[in-house]
Amino acid sequence: MYKTIVIGTGPAGLTAAIYLARANLSPLVIEGLQPGGQLTTTTEVENFPGFPDGILGPDLMDNMRKQAERFGAQFKNGWVEAVDFSQRPFKITVDGLGVLEAETVIISTGASARYLGIPGEQDNVGRGVSTCATCDGFFFRGKKIVVVGGGDSAMEEASFLTRFASSVTLVHRRSELRASKIMQDRARENSKVAWALNRTPLEVAIGDTGVKGLKVRNNETGAEELVEADGVFVAIGHTPNTAFLGGQITTDANGYIVVNPGTTETNIPGVFACGDVQDTRYRQAISAAGTGCMAAMDAEKYLEGSMVHDWSETLDK
């Protein structure tokens, strides 16, 4: 049995692991299919404090992992298929590892950006295709950008990106937008935003120097068109990775874990959530790391107050 099992190795899970390991709680960390999390899919990270010249996403995550290992965190490769939080110790079923038991669990499984699934998209994530304006807008100063989506987040990303881009074209496959009126109005009032509505994205077009635009079908005429751009921002939402919880943890209507405000506590005492899996608003590496620290401290406090197993023998080993 483990004192704490951390599920997920993005900035939230690895920060939790560092804090838990330094508190002598020997956490077990389950890596999942994407060891290092979302930042391993990008190149330069310029907004994580402490790296004045930026750092490559995979290097940043490697450093975090080494830091956790240095203090005794154990890592295991595996995918959590199911959990049983109805009894204590909690039970976690991991693909290839069987059923593991823990006094406390930290869920840091992130949220996956939804993609269009068109040719040229996945191969160019971090190289002209992005799902995060806050993260990557700065790389497109003076350039043309396409934003795909029709909801509030697409409007917000488009308006934000006009700070950097020479122009932003909003592509949506219908003529009506799902976005709230206020968000639409804000985007429509922005002279840098152009509209390509009723267009279905077909392919991210690549030229000699990278992304050269988005190939779309004009749904009115059926004609194929190229919306020229140096960057394509896909803003069609995120899916929190909570399916494996089987409804045992309270989530919002979109599947994000609900935590007690100002803490990482879920509806089940001893189960904590941090990072993008409980964050519908910020979704940044530093905010994920911040809540990872909170989750470790919350778990530590919980273990101090309600240990059902005597750990004193193992603590000194």
Ligand X SMILES: Cc1cc2nc3c(=O)[nH]c(=O)nc-3n(C[C@H](O)[C@H](O)[C@H](O)COP(=O)(O)OP(=O)(O)OC[C@H]3O[C@@H](n4cnc5c(N)ncnc54)[C@H](O)[C@@H]3O)c2cc1C
Evaluate the CA torsion angle 116, 117, 121, 125 in order and state its sign: positive
Q: Among 26, 104, 109, 266, indicate the residue that binds ligand X (CB under 6 A).
A: 109
Nearest distance in Å: CB 241, ligand X: 4
Q: Among 47, 122, 280, 306, indicate the residue that binds ligand X (CB under 6 A).
A: 47
Q: Interface with ligand X includes 244 (CB under 6 A)? A: yes
Q: Interface with ligand X includes 68 (CB under 6 A)? A: no
Q: Interface with ligand X includes 27 (CB under 6 A)? A: no
HEC per residue, 88-107: CCEEEEECCCEEEEEEEEEE
Q: Interface with ligand X includes 137 (CB under 6 A)? A: no
**Catalytic residue IDs:** 132, 135-136
**C-alpha to C-alpha distance for 103 and 231, rounded to whole angstroms:** 46
Q: Interface with ligand X includes 240 (CB under 6 A)? A: no
Q: Interface with ligand X includes 38 (CB under 6 A)? A: yes
Selected range binding ligand X among 21-29, 155-163, 210-218, 283-291, rule: CB under 6 A: 283-291
Q: Interface with ligand X includes 275 (CB under 6 A)? A: yes
- CB burial class (10 A; 0-12, 13-18, 19+) of residue 184? middle
**C-alpha to C-alpha distance for 256 and 240, rounded to whole angstroms:** 6
Q: Among 26, 108, 169, 248, indicate the residue that binds ligand X (CB under 6 A).
A: 108
DSSP-derived letter for residue 84 is E
HSE-up of residue 259 (Cα within 13 Å, Cβ side): 23
Nearest distance in Å: CB 56, ligand X: 10
Nearer to ligand X, 9 or 177 (CB): 9
CB 274 within 8 A of CB 108: yes
Nearer to ligand X, 183 or 277 (CB): 277
Q: Interface with ligand X includes 242 (CB under 6 A)? A: no
The residue assigned the tokens 């989530």 is 251
DSSP-derived letter for residue 267 is S
Selected range binding ligand X among 102-110, 187-195, 206-214, 257-265, rule: CB under 6 A: 102-110
Run of H or E including 74 = strand 74-76
Provide the b/e sequence for 76-107 (b: ≥16 CB within 10 Å).
eebebeebebeebbbbbbbeeeeebebbbbbb
Q: Among 56, 82, 97, 132, indicate the residue that binds ligand X (CB under 6 A).
A: 132
> CB within 8 A of 310, min separation 6: which ones?
none
Q: Interface with ligand X includes 201 (CB under 6 A)? A: no
Nearest distance in Å: CB 57, ligand X: 7
**C-alpha to C-alpha distance for 139 and 165, rounded to whole angstroms:** 9
Nearer to ligand X, 47 or 175 (CB): 47
Q: Among 58, 126, 237, 290, indicate the residue that binds ligand X (CB under 6 A).
A: 126
| Interaction site with ligand X (CB under 6 A) | 7-13, 30-35, 37-39, 41-42, 45, 47, 79-80, 108-110, 113, 125-126, 131-132, 135, 241, 244, 275-277, 283-286, 288
